[in-house]
């Protein structure tokens, strides 16, 4: 796959630790466009769009926020917790985007399965279709995300 | 002949490339050379500097430290100051961080303004007092499972003057997982009379650049660098009773404030509500009980949202803001001081104002 100079610049930013420790790409050797395309294909097979996924994550984050970092039950099937930390997270794409450092944990009551996302994850999925590279601390596997959010 | 046919175009192209590279080098040396520029600060101080760098780093070289969290990459929006003349147009990288009032008031991000000509700027006077400090990490202490207290003994300069409630910017060096130096702001948690050191209370942030360094790489005896003090969060001079509310590492400025109150023999009434999700989130209970003994009208109220089943927690339960709401009917005569997450502060401000506290009597240090 050919990469434009802009893609190469973006990839350097994503692999660097300029914005988060260890960067966004983890141990993934694929290029950012390949990662995005592969994850988009997974989502399409599951019949869900990136916008719907991000919208659901935002909905659950908003439900968790009033508990001020404590666990709260929602919709009869989740335990949610949204913790706010000092600082903010900046989108690595070349546009203005700064998000509070908020970590939301979403645990299914039936399976005990849980996932953690940041407000930046929501933006990256919604605006860029980017779930981060494999091995990255905040990588979200699209199939796991869909199973937890929509089942 | 064929060799020449191939060689000649290659030589021509190579010569053009080399020529262009030479032009670029010369341009950088001569055309992008801005020469000496004069910066007038607050209409009273003039400094002559070499042009070509950002205003933030130029001022830093002159030992004038503007707070910045991202090391000048234009991503934090903290390094604001007024550029009254010579700053050029606001860059697209600045606009997300500037309100329309700020743009009208000629506020700029100093990391995005390049010094190319003479400038007239305005900065808060307090920033002239900011110094760079070098020291050594003297002690690291676990306060909870995810919070530590760090004590940095000062070496150069050997002492610091600060007001309780202020913060410093700690330099996070390059380490495996962080490729560039960055600064992060932390409230000072130590006694303002203890001028030979500063103490910080830091809560670990998953994959946070600076907290990862503090928790995994920084060891007792290591060299540290920081600058400060910064900030306006401090006790007012009023005589009104006070309500402190904090969660997590929001504890830090209040420890310093309580030391200051003890030195002054402050008899103002103060209730300090400290919230944790579980009992294991609480810390410094012993120190707080000491402050209660020493300060005539100080009460510490730890609040736990969801005590662990195995704990025998007898204290306040629920959200820290709920505990405040249960304890007071009228806060119209009180001042409120808050330090913690944006969510906690927003919720506390709602409770305070609903109980009659005036907004101008509410002071906060929001994690940002």
What ipTM was predicted for this assembly? 0.80
Output the CA torsion sign for A18, A34, A105, A115: negative
Q: Given 3.40.50.1360, 3.10.20.30, 3.60.150.10, 3.40.50.720, which CATH number is that of B36-127? A: 3.10.20.30
Whether the upstream peptide bond of residue B229 has omega within 30° of 0, thus cis, is: yes
Tens-level pLDDT at each residue, chain B (368 residues): 666 677 777 778 777 877 777 776 666 555 666 789 999 999 989 999 999 899 999 998 898 989 886 667 777 788 999 999 999 999 888 887 888 999 999 999 999 999 999 999 999 888 888 999 999 999 999 999 999 999 999 999 999 999 999 999 999 999 987 887 888 899 999 999 999 999 999 999 888 889 999 999 999 999 999 999 999 899 999 999 999 999 989 999 999 999 999 999 999 999 999 999 999 999 999 999 999 999 999 999 999 999 998 999 999 999 999 999 999 999 999 999 999 988 899 999 999 999 999 999 999 876 55
- Is A138 near chain B, with CB under 8 Å? yes
List of chain B residues whose C-beta atoms are within 8 Å of the C-beta of residue A17 = 177-180, 209
Q: Which two tokens stand for residue B292?
A: 């209660």
State the pLDDT at residue B316: 96
Architecture of domain B242-366: 3-Layer(aba) Sandwich (3.40)
Q: Do B206 and A137 touch (CB under 8 A)?
A: yes
Q: For an interface test with A, which of B210, B245, B341 has the most A Cβ atoms less than 10 Å from its Cβ?
A: B341
Q: Do A86 and B77 touch (CB under 8 A)?
A: no
Q: Report CA A97 to chain centroid distance, whole Å.
A: 15
- What residues of B are in the A interface, CB distance below 8 Å? 69-70, 73, 75-77, 93, 95-97, 177-180, 184-185, 203, 205-209, 212, 247, 249, 275, 277, 305-306, 319-321, 341-344, 347, 367-368
Strand order in the sheet with B223-230: B182-187, B167-172, B223-230, B131-142, B147-156, B197-203
Per-residue pLDDT, averaged over A52-69, amounts to 96
A8's enclosing H/E stretch is helix A5-15
List of chain B residues whose C-beta atoms are within 8 Å of the C-beta of residue A105 = none
Q: Given 2.40.30.10, 3.40.190.80, 2.70.150.10, 3.30.1490.190, which CATH number is that of B130-230? A: 2.40.30.10
State the pLDDT at residue B30: 58
Q: Other C-beta atoms within 10 Å of B200: how many?
A: 22
Backbone angles phi, psi at B51, to 5 degrees: -70, 165
pLDDT at A70 over 80: yes
pTM of the model: 0.84
- Same topology, domains B36-127 and B130-230? Answer is no
For the stretch A90-104, pLDDT in tens is: 888 887 778 889 999
Residue B172 to chain A, least CA–CA distance (Å) = 11
Q: What is d(CA B201, CA B215) in angstroms, rounded to the nearest whole number?
A: 12
Q: B151 in helix, strand or coil?
A: strand
* Boundaries of every domain in chain B: 36-127, 130-230, 242-366
Query: In this structure, which long-range contacts are made by residues B236-239, counting pairs with CB atoms below 8 Å and at least 24 apart in sequence?
Result: B236/B335, B236/B361, B236/B363, B238/B335, B238/B361, B239/B268
Taking each continuous run of H as one helix and of E as one strand, the counts in chain B are: 8, 17
Q: Do A90 and B75 touch (CB under 8 A)?
A: yes
**Is A48 buried (19+), middle (13-18) or exposed (0-12) by CB count in 10 A?**
middle
Q: For an interface test with A, which of B78, B180, B206 has the most A Cβ atoms less than 10 Å from its Cβ?
A: B206
């Amino acid at each position: 796959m050919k990469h434009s100079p802009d893609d190469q610049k973006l990839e350097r930013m994503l692999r660097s630790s300029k914005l988060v420790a260890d960067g966004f790409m983890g141990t993934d050797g694929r290029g950012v466009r390949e990662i995005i395309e592969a994850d988009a294909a997974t989502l399409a097979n599951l019949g869900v769009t990136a916008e719907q996924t991000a919208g659901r994550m935002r909905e659950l984050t908003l439900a968790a926020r009033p508990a001020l970092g404590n666990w709260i039950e929602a919709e009869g099937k989740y335990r949610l917790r949204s913790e706010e930390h000092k600082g903010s997270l900046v989108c690595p794409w070349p546009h203005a985007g700064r998000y509070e450092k908020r970590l939301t944990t979403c645990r299914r009551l039936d399976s005990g399965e849980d996932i953690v996302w940041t407000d930046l994850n929501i933006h990256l999925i919604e605006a860029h279709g980017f779930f981060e590279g494999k091995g990255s601390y905040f990588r979200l596997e699209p199939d796991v995300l869909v199973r937890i959010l929509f089942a | 002949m064929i060799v020449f046919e191939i060689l000649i175009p290659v030589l021509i192209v190579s010569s053009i490339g080399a020529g262009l590279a030479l032009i670029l080098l010369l341009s950088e040396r001569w055309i992008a050379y801005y020469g000496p520029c004069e910066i007038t600060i607050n209409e009273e101080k003039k400094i002559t500097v070499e042009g070509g760098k950002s205003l933030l780093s130029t001022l830093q070289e002159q030992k004038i430290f503007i707070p910045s969290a991202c090391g000048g990459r234009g991503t934090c929006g903290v390094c604001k100051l007024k550029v009254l003349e010579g700053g050029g147009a606001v860059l697209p990288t600045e606009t997300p961080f500037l309100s329309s009032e700020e743009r009208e008031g000629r506020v700029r991000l100093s990391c995005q303004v390049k010094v190319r000509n003479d400038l007239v700027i305005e900065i808060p006077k307090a920033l002239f007092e900011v110094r760079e400090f070098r020291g050594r990490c003297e002690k690291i202490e676990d306060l909870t499972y995810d919070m530590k207290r760090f004590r940095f003994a000062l070496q150069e300069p050997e002492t610091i003057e600060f007001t309780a409630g202020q913060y410093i910017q700690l330099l996070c060096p390059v380490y495996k997982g962080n490729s560039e130096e960055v600064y992060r702001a932390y409230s000072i948690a130590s006694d303002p009379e203890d001028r030979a050191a500063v103490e910080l209370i830091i809560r670990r942030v998953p994959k946070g650049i600076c907290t990862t360094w503090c928790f995994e790489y920084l060891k007792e005896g290591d060299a540290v660098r920081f600058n400060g003090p910064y900030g306006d969060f401090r006790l007012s001079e009023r005589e009104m009773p006070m309500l402190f509310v904090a969660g997590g590492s929001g504890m830090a400025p209040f420890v310093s404030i309580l030391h200051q109150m003890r030195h002054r023999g402050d008899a103002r009434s103060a209730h300090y509500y400290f919230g944790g999700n579980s009992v294991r989130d609480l810390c410094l209970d012993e120190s707080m009980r000491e402050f209660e003994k020493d300060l005539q009208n100080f009460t510490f109220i730890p609040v736990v949202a969801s005590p662990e089943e195995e704990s025998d927690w007898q204290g306040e339960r629920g959200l820290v803001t709920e505990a405040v709401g249960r304890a007071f009917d009228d806060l119209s005569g009180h001042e409120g001081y808050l330090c913690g997450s944006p969510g906690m502060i927003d919720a506390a401000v709602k409770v305070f104002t609903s109980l009659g506290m005036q907004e101008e009597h509410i002071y906060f240090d929001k994690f940002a």
